[in-house]
Structure 1
Amino acid sequence: MVTSPNNAPLAGRRILVSRPEPRAEETRRALEQAGARSRALPLIAIQPRTLDGRERSLIQELDNFRKIIAVSPNAARLLLEQADDWWPQWPVGLEWWGPGDGTARVFRDAGLPGQAPPSGHDSEALLSCPAFQPEAVAGEKVLIARGDRGRELLRNTLADRGARVEVLPLYERTPIDWPEATLRENLTTFDPDTVLALSGETLKRLLEVGQNADSKLRERCLVVPVERVAQQARDAGFRDVRVAPAMSPDGLIDACRASPSNAE
């Protein structure tokens, strides 16, 4: 069913997407299909790491693990790319987990039984699942695929619950240095009523680049992934902060639809 432009859920909205590629462009297209005018301005780049010998051995020994956790769709994709060289057939008996359904879907698209918490999309939601309670994980080997930096909540909590945890850093996050003219064009001239900043690191970078490029930044509605990042945004002076119910296109559209439009 095609929605007419005037009846589209985000008709008249101007939304800036600041998540890393390729998700930035995917999200921008989804928002435009929902009627918004949208631009993508990634502030962080995801760069695959060259793995050392110990890290490669973790992939070669995937069948020694019971649970595989990827903390993001990027982590899941890079894990599968690396493992494809060593595993023409995936080992059986493993549980493949993500903190949200977007990550689990990457596994399912590869033919693996990707799982995610029934609600929520963060480490806390994952740790609340029965599969990660002490009686379930004690003595199990768990591999966490992630970036080179990140929260230690998963690693530390699972270790405290008796799991034998290994961390596999698959990518680096590097800031993108846009020319000042590009920042002003996307922030001041485009004048978005809503900005998507879907990680704490992206929020930090948004504050850095907006310092000189956008005097109205903190007046704009901000959509964030979880309450922890929402509190960081409020502490930084944002007055209208919305937590997305999910990181899927529908979840982000719902968060944007709930936010007020400044469009004329």
Structure 2
Amino acid sequence: MATPPPEAPLEVNLQGRRILICRPEPEASRLARVFEQAGAEVRLLPLVAREPLPETPEQRSILQELDNFTHVIAVSPYAAKRLLEEADAWWPQLPVGIHWYGVGAATAAELGRHGLRPRRPSEGWTSEALLALPSLQNLEHERVLLARGEHGRELIRQTLESRGARVTVLPLYRRFCPYYPSETIDEVCNRFRPEVIVALSGETLNNLVTTDPGALPALQQALLVAPAERVAEQARQAGFGHILVPDGLADRDLVTSVASRLAPQAGHTGQQSKDARD
């Protein structure tokens, strides 16, 4: 297979701008490289970490019956990755006839890397956009597998059940807030004094607010990048006054949106996200 050509460098200038990225790894380091290519100074403080859940008899039973599901939905790239890794033990070739879905462009791309063709919303990449797909409207007695973390928003499950679906939730990993010594928090929040904070989920924002309440007044002066209006409103309630909801959450989209917002001539405040959260 031919190697795809490298992407052209972004035509943006963030020279000397201080960016704090709070995404999980490896997404945080990947995004940092794109910001650094634009000249930004970057610090990483992942405020959500993920670890696989131990395999259980129930999980094995669900995966062995994968061919009994009409629809399979992964809520994040990591959920898609974990699902396909676990399914491979039982299905060297995935069963045919399943409708696959991913919340967010990155999740759809992860499914695509495994040869799947997930159904894509015509507009937007949010959970709400996914739920608007025609194939997810009339689901009487149809079985749906929802691959996700141990806890999460119940919007997808509740909505599909209200449409008649028999939803099976498959928890594949847990999320938690990593521990950081006070010296690390002080260096990142107070000495580095970020101008931009990337927090792409409500859980990440909650952890940011509670990690060091003493540093919060300084952080509230930064531009907070949120994934969707729901999290933007959460940020406003937490005291953040400068919020950007970018057009998309791909790495290049994030960097371009931040550069546009920080440019002297930029007067917009961003549009609703068309991607998924972490």
The TM-score normalised by the length of structure 1 is 0.92
Does 2:103 match 1:105?
Answer: no
- 1:217 paired residue number: 219
Gapped regions of structure 2 (runs ≥ 5):
1-6, 265-278
**In the alignment, structure 1 residue 65 sits paired with structure 2 residue 69:** yes
CA distance in 1, matches of 2:65, 2:254: 37
CA distance change for structure 1 residues 85 and 15 in 2, over 3 Å: closer, same or farther? same
Amino acid at match of 2:135: A
Deviates more, 1:9-18 or 1:192-201: 9-18
Unmatched 5+ stretches in structure 1: none
Quick one: distance in 1 between partners of 2:178 and 2:263? Answer: 28
Matches within 5 A, 1:78-157: 78-134=82-138, 137-157=139-159
Is 2:30 aligned against 1:26?
Answer: yes
1:144/1:167 contact within 8 Å kept: yes
Distance across 1 between alignment mates of 2:45 and 2:250: 19
Report the secondary structure of 2:176's partner residue.
Answer: strand
How far does residue 120 in structure 1 lie from its aligned partner after superposition?
2.3
Residue 205 of structure 1 aligns with which residue?
207
Matches within 5 A, 1:29-48: 29-48=33-52
Residue 189 of structure 1: CA displacement?
1.6
Alpha-carbon separation, structure 1, partners of 2:34 and 2:119: 24
Aligned residue number for residue 274 of structure 2: none
- Identity within the alignment, %: 47
- Separation in 1 of the partners of 2:9 and 2:49? 34
- Deviation sequence 1:80-99 (CA, Å, 0-9, x none): 11111111111111121112
Distance between the aligned counterparts of 1:15 and 1:165, measured in 2? Answer: 40
Match status 1:194 vs 2:207: no
The amino acid of 1:232's aligned partner reads Q
Structure 1 residues 64, 3: closer, same or farther in 2, change over 3 A? closer
Q: Which residue of structure 1 aligns with residue 272 of structure 2? A: none
Shift of 1:177: 1.1
Which deviates more from structure 2 when the two are superposed, residues 246-255 or residues 215-224?
246-255
Tell me the CA shift for residue 115 of structure 1. 3.1
**1:257 — aligned with what?**
259
Quote the Cα distance in structure 1 between the aligned partners of 2:55 and 2:18: 40
Q: What SS does the corresponding residue of 1:216 show, helix, strand or coil?
A: helix
The 8 Å contact of residues 67 and 96 in structure 2, kept in 1 or not, is answered as yes
Report deviation, 1:119.
2.8
Q: Return the offset for 1:233.
A: 0.4
Give 2:168's aligned residue. Answer: 166
Give the AA of the match of 1:162. G
Structure 2 CA distance for partners of 1:215 and 1:22, relative to 1, 3 Å: same
Aligned mates of 2:225, 2:104 — CA distance in 1: 17
Deviates more, 1:123-132 or 1:31-40: 31-40
User: Does the CA contact (< 8 Å) of 2:194 and 2:219 recur in 1?
Assistant: no
Cα distance in 2, alignment partners of residues 10 and 94 from structure 1: 44
Cα distance, 1:117 vs structure 2: 2.0
Q: Partners in 2 of 1:254 and 1:210 — Cα distance?
A: 29
How far, CA to CA, are the matches of 1:45 and 1:113 in structure 2? 28
> Shift of the alpha carbon at 1:214?
4.7
Deviations for 1:23-44, whole angstroms, at most 9, x for unmatched residues? 1111111221233222221011
Residue 3 of structure 1: how far off its partner (Å): 4.9
Partner deviation per Cα, 1:140-172 (whole Å, 9 max, x = no partner): 211000011111110010010111111001111
Of 253-262 and 14-23, more deviation after overlay is shown by 253-262
Are the equivalent residues in 1 in contact too, given 2:12–2:259 (CA < 8 A)? no
CA distance in 2, matches of 1:3, 1:73: 25
**2:271 equivalent in structure 1:** none
Higher helix share: 1
- In the superposition, relative to structure 1, how do residues 82 and 190 fare at CA in structure 2: closer, same or farther (>3 Å)? same
Q: C-alpha distance in 1, partners of 2:8/2:63?
A: 45
